[in-house]
Structure 1
Amino acid sequence: MSSDLPMNPELEEIDGKIQDIFRALQNGFQKLDNIKDPNRQSKQLEELTGKMRECKRLIKEYDQELKNQENQNPPEVNKKLNEKKQTMIKELNSYVALRKTYQSSLGNKRVELFDMGAGTSDPVAEDNVKMASEMSNQELIYAGRKQMDETDQTIERSKMVVEQTIEVGTQTAANLKGQTEQMGRIVNELDTIQFSIKKASQLVKEIGRQVATDKCIMLFLFLIVCGVIAVIIVKIVHPNNKSIPDIPGLAPPAPTGRKLLSA
């Protein structure tokens, strides 16, 4: 097909690489039918996916080169070259759809994003998707607004997450502050209890010393009383014993005859 259209060397080289990838994709999917091992099938699909990405990159280069030489070619030639580009995109889309079919049959439920460039739609995701260079101004404005709306929604969700995080952090800080104050009160109470225990210990010691002193005094008084009682008993038993001094109030009365004589 490239021989029917006038192309510069750059376009011919890109077109040749794209056609080589298409043949490789066709052969790869044919081999995939003969592979029975699911792991080998997954590996083969990964290799084919890499080739699709490379083909998408080459289609972009083809489109850019086509724009560069657009002024050098007649309108009919540019029209045919653009039709050829659309044919390439549709063929690549068919392989992508085939890849998804094989993935579904393998039970692979992972969502894979086939990155086709930032700010543009994926031309291999659907057959009717256009490249950014072919979209009208209205379509570009619509796509941009849609992207901005999605970005705004993402920002709002992020704000909600941040607010929730701040709220949780504030609540956690308040709980920690309350626990710190409670620990402070407990420490103060422990200090008061320790001081009270020291005071009680001192009081017990003083009481013990006082009790010991009182016991000594009582013992001394008991000994004195015992001594007095012993003297009284001895004086009663031996009233004429002069070695025992008289106890006031217990001495025998003086004879009355002596008083008469002295009188």
Structure 2
Amino acid sequence: MASDLPMSAELEQIDGEITDIFRALQNGFQKLDKIKDPNRQSKQLEELTGKMRECKRLIKEFDRQIKDEESQNPPEVNKQLNEKKQSMIKELNSYVALRKTYQNSLGNKRVELFDMGTGGSDPVAEDNVQMASAMSNQQLVDAGMKKMEETDQAIERSKMVVEQTIEVGAQTAANLKGQTEQMGRIVNELDTIQFSIKKASQLVKEIGRQVATDKCIMAFLFLIVCGVIAIIIVKIVNPHNKDIRDIPGLAPPAPTARRLLSLEAFKGFQ
């Protein structure tokens, strides 16, 4: 597939890779004819299918690069590049049809070209066979572009799902972090409350002991006061009781009055 078309470095690299894959596919199918063991044939066919997948991806990348450089190239160059792309698609579809033929001959339904699932039919391969045999070049291009667009849409949907999953995971992690911090604050507050309760309990005990001591002192003073009052009452009622000692300031004043009367009588006598 060597060409003298003026192409950028990116297009030349992609074109070279596609050319190598087509050469490998050609050699691989030639080798497949010489293999007699069905298991080895099946393995060889799987390897060729993988190369076809890679070739499809490169053709798609080739088409994107053409669109990116379309404004920089002359119309004639763009036309030649599109024709080259169509020839690539047509050649790939011919290998797809050949693969389908070998697959039917082997009765091997495990090989799927475009990851359509195990045990199912291969609608993409069937479409490619139809394109290779009955469609025009433009129809081949349109069908190939349609399949590429469908693949793009599926990839974009997958990316959106992944992004949404990442966002949900990040939000969940943030919520868990906030809840963890809140739990830490609650634990600290509980420790503070427990410490305050212990201090309050100790203070209550100290106040209780102090109140008990004050009550004892008050009771003792009350007993003393009651005793003093009782002594005073007894002394007043029975001042001649010798068993009770005189209380200073509370002794009966009778002797003093008698001394004053004696002095006045003595003075009158004189």
Q: TM-score, normalised by structure 2?
A: 0.48
